[in-house]
Structure 1
Amino acid sequence: MDPLIAEAEDARPTPPGKLYAISDIHLSFQGNREALAQLEPRPNDGLILCGDIGESAEHCRLAFTTVTTCFRTVFWAPGNHELYTLPSQKETGLRGEAKYMECVEVAREFGVLTPEDDFAIWDGEGGPCLIAPIFTLYDYSFRPHDVKFEDALQWAKDEGMEPTDEYLLHPDPYSSRPEWCEALVARTEAKLEAAVAAHPGVQLIIVNHWPLREDLVNLWQIPRFSLWCGTKKTEDWHKRFRAKVVVSGHLHIRRTDWRDDTRFEEVSLGYPRQWKECKDKGMDINDFLREILPGPEQPPPGKRDTIWRRWG
């Protein structure tokens, strides 16, 4: 072969490889920061960070510095922890939408794609698919039918449930988190509709920190935490918007489910105490990267039981 031709072929970009995901890496914990430092390079692959990196811009920078060094393309959707205004920032810290946009700007410093960017086509293994990071928050609608909206918070408090969100996640400039959620859902719905119309025949990978469906929220020890886990307004989005896979976190209960012909992946790492047993068995953060694309083969109808992923 002509040396010039061989050199040109060597210079051609390698097609993207696989697409992985992880969420809830909670870098405020030293054990999780140490775990992130063990991330192995996968320079031909992509990574989804599905929220709850940490509570500060510094946590985001640490995460994005590491993952963009290891992966070819990185996508991010925010979790509730990125939106927190810590007590030390009570007087001067950013709140609500401004805090979210600060995270978006940090992501853009590293070329990380966010819900504020155009959805990107993934042409790697399992593609082409449109990668759609979104941000919807929650509206307290994941509750029993006999519990009224105005009674929902007291219903949770009756079992000692009052998460940190109620004190640190501010909805500014909206009057409440449900109002912010309503605006986010309307905006996201329009963006997804436009994406589906613009890419006929291309399936989506929807990435949201909060589960899209209430029936995927199984919290046996703290069932009333469901209030802070999503909104019923997204229940059918996997069908409406041709989702091949829906990726979420938040629950710290790793699992794979199928609804209709869509695969749902909960990809949390969690707090150090929650994956200590795995660490004691010699596992590290690389063992918790969930393969989204190409992913496992879809089981036939009748055999699509939940896969509980205790070990990653």
Structure 2
Amino acid sequence: MSGRLLAVSDLHISYDDNRRIVEELRPRSEGDWLLVAGDIGEKVEGIEWTLRLLASRFEKVVWAPGNHELWTQESDPVQLRGEARYRHLVELCRGLGVVTPEDEYPVWEGEGGPVRIAPLFLLYDYTFRTPTAPTKEESLAQARAAGIVCTDEYLLYPDPYPSRDAWCRARVAETERRLEAVQGGPPLVFVNHYPLVRQPTDILRYPEFAQWCGTTATADWHLRFDTAVMVYGHLHIPRTTWYDGVRFEEVSLGYPREWRRHGLPQGLLRDVLRHVPTGVNEGLLSGRPSPTPAASPAAGTPPVGPSQVGERGAGAPGGGGR
């Protein structure tokens, strides 16, 4: 098999400038696969448009949902909520030939392979809570007091589960069983909207937002399972870091106000099996951001990221749906 294994996330096509970027996305060579780590958009129509376009250009497209795909907005003709909305998107993907977390994990046999691609849908369970909060409730209270409330609290319904964290626990348990079943095969390329470990959130400007960024239940997955690379998005801080010798790639595009500030990432579609230092946000082996000026998107500029600024409830100052 020829081609390369490419990845991107957080396309946010509700922004016209981002939609135009997506219209220009094309394979680098025949046989390229594309991993899409969530947050294409909020409305089913736009999600379908994007995946149909990408599936027509790439040999194979693999999708893992972000939080935005799971929002139920009044303006979306598809008013399904929670699990029903997710299952609707899975069937939409299958109709387009796009691989989902519910499908058999495909094996990439091209350059850098063989590796098994594992798209995940895990959500979060508020265990990345603030350091001084012993409970989810106190952590959420601290976030509200700081004016940092993820829009998920208003638009991401967990139906039929009693809470988003209950849904997360069910997804983690089901996914663990599937991963254990493929142990002993090719190394895994994890594709999840959220990082499997908490450390990537350490550079968030607003640490209260970390609780909407993953779960401690997956903290050892990159060690328990033979992992080639872990691909994620959500933080809108594209960079490479290493944890316990395993490479993590944050591959987001982000909002126009973010990528305009620092320019589009060089090579927006990340070649995840060929590690090429970007010179921007290149992590050390410890997984900590580099102490050099290159650790932030621009020298002298602190890491910002869309999930850190204005990810608040509708109508709040600086609000807007992240």
TM over 0.5: yes
Alpha-carbon shift at residue 110 of structure 1 (Å):
1.4
State the Cα RMSD in Å. 2.2
Q: After superposition, where does 1:92-111 map in structure 2 within 5 Å?
A: 93-111=79-97
Q: 1:16 and 1:112, CA in 2 relative to 1: closer, same or farther beyond 3 A?
A: farther
Equivalences for residues 3-14 of structure 1 within 5 A? none
What is the match of residue 209 of structure 1?
193
| AA of the residue aligned to 1:310 | P
Q: Which has the higher helix share?
A: 1
Aligned to 2:37: 50
Q: CA deviation at 1:306?
A: 4.2
8 A contact 2:37–2:192 mirrored in 1: yes
SS in 1 for 2:267: helix
Distance across 2 between alignment mates of 1:172 and 1:89: 18
Query: Quick check: 176-185 or 97-106, which moved more?
Result: 97-106
2:230 match: 246
Larger RCO of the pair (alpha carbons < 8 Å, separation 6+): 1
CA distance in 1, matches of 2:269, 2:289: 18
Query: Structure 2: how far apart are the matches of 1:295 and 1:70?
Result: 24
Counterpart in the other structure of 2:306: none
Higher strand proportion (structure 1 or 2): 1
Which of residues 84, 92, 100 in structure 2 aligns to 1:114?
A: 100
Residue 297 of structure 2 corresponds to: 310
Q: Which has the higher mean CA deviation after the structures are superposed, 181-190 or 98-107?
A: 98-107
> What is the distance in 2 between the residues matched to 1:275 and 1:173?
37
- 1:264 alignment partner, SS class: strand
1:41 Cα deviation after fit: 3.6
Residue aligned with 1:75, SS: strand
C-alpha spacing 1:53/1:60, structure 2 compared with 1 (3 Å)? same
C-alpha deviation, 1:146, in angstroms: 3.4
SS of equivalent to 1:17: coil
Q: One-letter code of the match for 1:218?
A: D
Separation in 2, partners of 1:264, 1:105: 29
Match of 1:165 in 2: 152
Provide the C-alpha distance between the structure 2 equivalents of 1:84 and 1:251, rounded to a whole number of angstroms.
18
The answer for the alignment partner of 1:59 in structure 2 is 46
- Alignment partner, residue 287 of structure 1: 267
Provide the rounded CA distance (Å) in 1 between the counterparts of 2:225 and 2:250: 19
Given the alignment of the two structures, is residue 229 of structure 1 paired with residue 216 of structure 2, yes or no? no
Which residue of the partner structure matches residue 27 of structure 1? 13
Could you tell me the TM-score, scaled by structure 2's length? Answer: 0.83
What CA distance in whole angstroms lies between the structure 1 residues aligned with 2:296 and 2:100? 27
Give unpaired runs (5+ residues) of structure 2: 299-322
| 1:296, distance to aligned residue in structure 2 (A) | 3.8
Identical residues among aligned pairs (%): 46
> CA separation in 2, counterparts of 1:305 and 1:219?
9
Q: Is contact 1:161-1:224 (8 Å) kept?
A: yes
Displacement of 1:216: 1.3
Residues 10 and 233 in structure 2, CA contact (< 8 A), matched pair in contact too: yes
Unaligned runs of 5+ in 1: 1-14
Q: What is the Cα deviation at residue 24 of structure 1?
A: 0.2
Matches within 5 A, 1:188-203: 188-197=175-184, 199=185, 202-203=186-187
How far, CA to CA, are the matches of 2:50 and 2:98 in structure 1? 11
SS class of match (1:87)? coil
Distance 1:145 1:111, change over 3 A: same
The match for 2:244 is 260
Measured after TM superposition, the shift of residue 113 of structure 1 is 0.6
Matched, 1:70 2:57: yes
TM-score (norm 1): 0.86
Distance 1:137 1:192 in 2: 17
Kept in 1, the 8 Å contact 2:37–2:231? The answer is yes
1:262-277 alignment runs, 5 A limit? 262-277=246-261
1:19 and 1:309, CA in 2 relative to 1: closer, same or farther beyond 3 A? Answer: farther
Moved more, 60-69 or 106-115: 60-69
- 1:196-240 residue CA offsets vs partner (Å, 9 max, x unmatched): 14x2xx210011001111111134422100110000000000010
> Contact between 2:245 and 2:285, CA under 8 Å: does it hold in 1?
no
Distance 1:129 1:191 in 2: 16
Q: Which amino acid aligns with 1:288?
A: L
Contact between 1:138 and 1:228, CA under 8 Å: does it hold in 2? yes
Partner of 1:196: helix, strand, or coil? Answer: coil
Partner of 2:3: 17
Give the greater-gyration-radius structure (CA). 1
